[in-house]
Amino acid sequence: MNEDRIAEGKVRDNIGAAFGHAEVGIYLILAVLLAATALLALASAAKELWDAVAGWQLAGEIPRVLNGLLFVLMAVEILHTVRISIRSHVLVIEPFLVVGIIASIRRILVVTLEAASLTKEGQWTSEGASSVFRASMIELGLLGLVVLVLVIAIALLRRYAPVSTDER
């Protein structure tokens, strides 16, 4: 009876180890793909910036370049989270909240720049422009609320985080 338990425990350990190796393998593939995505997005943003500077169209291209750079920042932050998960075998929530903040700020900047371009072009006379502006303001308010909630969540996580007894 005791030998059966030992054998059963060994089988469980072997299955657990196999799944652990599969998990690490998947994380490694994900990390490589995220790194490639971040590098390609960075190269794309650099090319857009270079083309805008060369064509003297910097003002019109800044929102797209900024959007691309913030996407790179999000991809790198997710890559950092994957790296932590590979190293510690624990899913850490705080980096995902940081990615949410970056994504929200990215959208805030894009909406703000779109609204600013709407006002610069003198399109306030049309009914469509005022409804777009109103929708943009509502979206900005909601995005600001999302950022506030995510910051509070990070503060609460840091304040009430469990103390690790395992020092590495």
Segments making up each domain of the chain, as ranges: 2-159
DSSP class of 93:
S
Give the pTM: 0.70
Contact 111, 122 (CB under 8 A): no
15 vs 73: CA distance, rounded Å: 37
Q: What is the mean pLDDT of each run of 10 residues along the chain (168 residues)?
A: 75 85 88 94 93 81 84 88 80 85 89 74 63 86 96 93 57
pLDDT of 135: 87
69: CB partners within 8 A, 6+ apart: 42, 45
- In single-letter form, the type of residue at position 165 comes to T
| Nearest residue to 100 (alpha-carbon basis) of 68, 73, 137 | 73
pLDDT of 126: 64
